Structure 1
Amino acid sequence: MSLNEAKDLIEAARRARENAFAPYSNFRVGAAVETIDGRVFAGCNVENATYGLTVCAERVAIWKAISEGARGFRRLVVIADTEELTPPCGPCRQIIWEFCGDIEIIMTNLGGKVETVRAGDLLPRAFDRRFLTI
């Protein structure tokens, strides 16, 4: 995947980041997930005074997509204003795996630094429905 191919997805994440509600940490994050058919769903982190109820940008984007009926995802972008690129946290890695599988994850910052990894590289030996007997 070229950076040019992900330009619109990165821009969607950047715009979503502007809406982040982060009055406690001031750590504003944006994310955007792209479906197989090219639809884009973006989200930002939303903090809560109890911290435990805070929701990350990646989960917001994925849940927006799922709530709109989207299934089958191609890639996800995470953007933050950090020098070192910010990967998804542990709970987000699990949600990404559960709903998106081994998709491409593009980490970027406001300065344009970009790194691409696979979800499976961030969450090796992931727990999923294979382990559940239904």
Structure 2
Amino acid sequence: MAILTGVNSVDTLPFQIASIVFLFVFNTVFAFGWLGMTWLYSAEITPLHTRAPANALATSCNWICNFLVVMITPVAFENIKEYTYTIFAVINAIMIPSVYFFFPESSRPSLEEMDLIFSKVKGVRGALDVMASGS
């Protein structure tokens, strides 16, 4: 996204081609990496009795955020032009520490073990402590 800010600030054909290439590369990498997390992560970390409502909430948040991006982006491009990508880059950068500190690793335990892990704790901080200790 930060690269898109730079290549969109110059109005020549090579920079426009680079902008298109970087946009497609970002979308492809995002699709292989984070795109499925909206549906998968909430199902992995919630107990069975709250799994359906958690997935509903995650999917609703995904669609609401997509709606906001679609509605705000054209206005942003009209007003602040290529710096819209700077806003997206800052949001992406904020997500790095957010994921590190607030999203416990869920690849090692099975789905049934996750139910047991999260039934032991109360609150978000307790869930992070249990996941960090590996029990």
State the TM-score, normalized to the length of structure 2: 0.24
Higher relative contact order (CA 8 A, sep 6+): 2
Q: Is the strand fraction higher in 1 or 2?
A: 1
- What TM-score comes out, normalization by structure 1 length? 0.25
